[in-house]
Amino acid sequence: MKQFTLLLFFFSGALMLGAQTNEVQFKFNHKVNGDELKVNETLFTIWNGKTMQIDRAEFYLAEISLIGVGGGKTTLNDQYILADASEPEVVWNIGNVNLDEIEGVEVHIGVDQAKNHLDPSTYQLGHPLGFQDPSMHWGWSAGYRFMAIEGYVDNNNDGVPESLFQYHNLGDNLYFTTAIDGDVTADNGVLTVNLDVDYAKLFEGMTMIGNLIHHGSNSQNQKMLTNASTEDFLTISALSAQDDVARNSLSLTGTPNPARGQISLAQDLDPAIQAVDLKVMNVMGQMVAFRQNVPAQGQIQLDLQGWQAGTYFYGLFQHGRLIARSSFVVQ
């Protein structure tokens, strides 16, 4: 089972109450052009109209960072994920984090140089850097296959993919990073990062004719890894309607703002919403205030005595789902 745990810490509570933790999970929704990908089955087209089928799709993620509200970054060192489209049900548990809400993640596609040339036999069975079947390790000198994409492309235009392609992308020079924006909020003690993976994006600008077997770090391998980091290959799934959040956020006001000593947070949400939870985070993404079952229409008074000067972000949540957000400044 490809599930591993790392430890982080999360401070939360009503006006600096005791510490609690939220478990962080990563899930992958494997897709092509926005539709579900089923390996050995799904047919899809790429940018130039060619029909394709993917039979193998695996890739590593390393040096995962969580971006807190306001831009603070928490890097999860020495943690690795091996995403596999043939195992869409796998959930990667990566422990507990001191962030109640994040605005995105930053990941590296591949394996960092410090671990890329080590012996996979030193890892226990099931570890993403251990032995895999099929293999994801090219050898101690070359290192791991950062990404292995195989399948067929229709080059005789009969609608049936017949030309084999293999892209085994490896080499320290292909270790690219990508930033992925998107709001994620903990629900019932779990911070779940749902990543949509669109494999059609990997082939942007690639003609897929001629030699289609590329094992290494040549220009075609580099092109695919560049696409993976720049073409929205990875995006955070929208678990709530962003338009609704933006509209609801217009009804939030804080008075005075900037504030000193006390602030009144007013909200005028849809009357159908009877009560919400309030969470206030500092710029590091740590929750500094929490109120349950506050009115969706009315005001909330917050005592700011002892708060550090700076910007604070707050959100209103219904059943754990973000429905409105805003910010205020403490002087």
Render pLDDT for 251-268 as a digit per residue (tens, 0 to 9).
Answer: 899 999 999 999 999 988
Averaged over 273-296, what is the pLDDT?
83
Q: Which of 29, 11, 7 lies closest to 19, judged by CA?
A: 11
Confidence of residue 272 (pLDDT cuts 50, 70, 90): confident
Mean pLDDT across the chain, nearest whole number?
87
Burial label, 290 (beta-carbon count in 10 A; 0-12, 13-18, 19+): middle
Does pLDDT of 1 surpass 80?
Answer: no
Half-sphere exposure of 297 (CA within 13 A, CB side): 7
276-285 confidence digits (pLDDT tens): 888 888 877 6
The reported pLDDT for the residue numbered 46 is: 94
Among 155, 185, 180, 151, which Cα is nearest to 166's? 151
- Is beta strand 297-303 parallel, antiparallel or unpaired with respect to 262-268? antiparallel
| Low-confidence winner among 16-20, 168-172, 193-197 (lowest mean pLDDT) | 16-20
* All domains in the chain, ordered by first residue: 22-236 (no CATH), 242-330 (2.60.40.3080)
Q: What is the mean pLDDT of residues 146-164?
A: 96
Contact present, 65 and 73 (Cβ < 8 Å) = yes
The pLDDT tens digits for 20-60 are 588 889 999 999 998 999 999 999 999 999 999 999 999 99
Q: In whole angstroms, how far apart are CA 316 and each of 54, 116, 148, 266, 320?
A: 42, 43, 42, 11, 9
HSE-CB of 249 using CA atoms within 13 angstroms: 14
> Is 60 exceeded by the pLDDT of residue 233?
yes
Cα 23 to Cα 184: distance, rounded to the nearest angstrom: 13
- Does residue 14 surpass a pLDDT of 70? no
- Measure the CA–CA gap between 178 and 230, rounded to whole angstroms: 7
CA distance 95 to 172: 28
CA 101 – CA 55 distance, rounded (Å): 36
The pLDDT score that the predictor gives to residue 322 is 77
- The answer to whether 68 and 74 are in contact (CB under 8 A) is yes
Q: Nearest to residue 70, comparing CAs of 321, 308, 317?
A: 308
pTM of the model: 0.71
Which among 137, 61, 73, 148 has a CA at the least distance from the CA of 104?
A: 73
For the cut 90, the answer to whether the pLDDT of residue 191 exceeds it is no
Model confidence at 249, pLDDT cuts 50, 70, 90, reads: confident
